[in-house]
Structure 1
Amino acid sequence: MGFCGGCAKALLIVFNFIFWLSGAAILGVGIWMIVDKNIGSYFEVLNLDTHDQFFKYAAYILIGLGVFVFLVGFCGCCGAIRGSKFLLGLYIFFLVLIFAGELCAGVLMIVYRVQIEDKIDDALESSIKKEYGESVTITDAWDVVQVQLDCCGGNGPNDYVDSKFVNKQSEQMIPLSCCVLTNKGTAEENPKDAIAKNGTACYDKLGEYYEKGCKDGLLDWGKEHTTILIGVGIGIACLEIFGIVFAICLCRQVDREDKY
């Protein structure tokens, strides 16, 4: 094989090693979506039901895509080492499919994030007034978010006014998770173990409670994580373009050698 063909072969093998790492990253994101309890809490608060089958399917699709990337990378390595036009052609086809899928997923993620930002006020207010204290899942999710972000309610503690929680707990104007705690570290793991610094003052909103709402913290958390995911997706997509180019060059070199 000529110099250009040898370079294309070496570059394709190096690319596939990086491609395998990207597959591991995608696989890790899918597993993270399933096992991380914090992401479930944040999504629940935003009225994005993590118990919905579509959320689980999205996580499983990412896991499946990560495994698929491993298989495609293996196909590319075998095609490069053996100089097989069939394997290289199959490899190019799968790379184009993955590239198109990632492009669509990135666009959908951007659109989805914009929709969440547009509807977040209504979503948070509805979640607080109608479901906090009624739904165990939503209540636990809000407690996790409020303890971790040092906040209270969506736009502030007044979100609890006329809520079902306050109507049931007439002696409390805000929940324990809104209070300044003496054991914040422990409470982040299990909000039910939280101990208020001054529960009497906190519950009556006289002091020792957080006055800022959780909206900004939730938006910052969402932007941070979606920006990372979008950036990783763009980086992998750019790598795939190089992989396609290397594979085409190697495929053409193999074709030339077959003619001679």
Structure 2
Amino acid sequence: MGFCGGCCKPLLIIFNIIFWLSGAAILGIGVWMIVDKNIASYFEVLNIDTHDKFFRYTAYLLIAFGVFVFLVGFCGCCGAIRGSKCLLGMYIFFLVLIFAGEIAAGVLAIIYKVKIEEKVESTLEKSIKEKYGPSGSATITEAWDFVQIQLECCGGKGPNDYNGSTFAKDPNKQIPLSCCVLTNKKDAYDSPDKATAVNITECQTKQSEYHTKGCKDSLINWANKHTGILIGVAIGIGSLQLFGIIVAACLCRQVDREEKY
């Protein structure tokens, strides 16, 4: 118990500073999901409706969770400084709850990752054929344009995904301008309709100056990369929390022992 008496308080305070930073990261992810155009476009293309209430609630839940982590960290600091068994007990309880929630979120992320990989090809093709173009969904169209410009790709499997689509009714416009080799790529991010190509006519009739690579592999890589980052962050924070639980329990025992004597 000598180690606990001398080191647990500073260790718990240092841990909570790191814990607060993790809360800021979680809060930042929630805000990022709401405001970042990139993630909104990728999710729209992958058939995840960013205007759906479930998506918005998920982002708000992450923001609330980040704030909650701040409050739990504050509770732990107060408990360590004041030597309060009550505050330390609450702190340990909330850490265990957060740890269980992170495990559940990690499992769901792994399941969802597999689900995306299984259905992505059919999802992308259906999205293009049924929802891209003036007669389709403006949100999906804008998302596809953004993804095709940024990733320099065309369609899901390739440009032929546009064959028989609602967009390709005009023989002179078999693929959209966002599939072309653009001369103003950076400006086209914000306004795809103002994009200019090396040769618009030859591009949109699939003769030359267009991207032949499909977007599927790039989108899967993007999803895997970001899911992997989230899983890694969750594992890292979870490991830290186990350390915090052990240190807090040790300090709680020390406080209890001091009260008895």
Q: TM-score, normalised by structure 1?
A: 0.98
Equivalence map 1:181-192=2 (5 Å): 181-192=182-193
Q: Distance in 1 between matches of 2:97 and 2:20?
A: 16
Instruction: Give the aligned partner of residue 118 of structure 1.
Output: 118
Instruction: Give the aligned partner of residue 132 of structure 2.
Output: 132
The yes-or-no answer on 1:80 pairing with 2:80 is yes
Instruction: Give the aligned partner of residue 20 of structure 1.
Output: 20
Q: Is the 8 A contact 2:171 2:205 kept in 1?
A: no
Whichever residue aligns with residue 98 of structure 2, its letter is I
Name the count of aligned residue pairs: 259
Whichever residue aligns with residue 71 of structure 2, its letter is L
Q: Distance in 2 between matches of 1:135 and 1:32?
A: 24
Instruction: Give the aligned partner of residue 144 of structure 2.
Output: 142
Runs of at least 5 residues in structure 2 that lack an aligned partner in the other structure: none
Q: Secondary structure at the match of 1:166?
A: coil
Q: CA deviation at 1:200?
A: 0.9
Equivalence map 1:1-260=2 (5 Å): 3-133=3-133, 134-167=136-169, 169-260=170-261
Whichever residue aligns with residue 153 of structure 1, its letter is G
Q: CA deviation at 1:3?
A: 4.8
Q: Distance in 2 between matches of 1:233 and 1:38?
A: 23
Q: Distance in 2 between matches of 1:75 and 1:58?
A: 25
Q: Distance in 2 between matches of 1:156 and 1:70?
A: 46
Q: Distance in 2 between matches of 1:165 and 1:18?
A: 51
Q: 1:63-111 deviations in whole A, cap 9, x for unaligned?
A: 0000000000000000000000000000000000000000000000110
Q: Is the 8 A contact 2:183 2:198 kept in 1?
A: yes
Q: Secondary structure at the match of 1:164?
A: coil
Whichever residue aligns with residue 122 of structure 2, its letter is D
Runs of at least 5 residues in structure 1 that lack an aligned partner in the other structure: none
Whichever residue aligns with residue 141 of structure 2, its letter is T
Whichever residue aligns with residue 196 of structure 2, its letter is I
Q: Secondary structure at the match of 2:197?
A: coil
Whichever residue aligns with residue 257 of structure 1, its letter is E
Q: Equivalent pairs: percent with the same residue?
A: 69
Q: Distance in 2 between matches of 1:170 and 1:65?
A: 52
Q: 1:121-147 deviations in whole A, cap 9, x for unaligned?
A: 110010000000111011000000000
Q: CA deviation at 1:170?
A: 3.6
Q: 1:34-67 deviations in whole A, cap 9, x for unaligned?
A: 0001111101101111111110010000000000
Q: Distance in 2 between matches of 1:4 and 1:233?
A: 27
Whichever residue aligns with residue 221 of structure 2, its letter is D
Q: CA deviation at 1:2?
A: 5.0
Q: Distance in 1 between matches of 2:4 and 2:238?
A: 24
Q: TM-score, normalised by structure 2?
A: 0.97
Tell me how large the CA RMSD over aligned residues is: 1.0
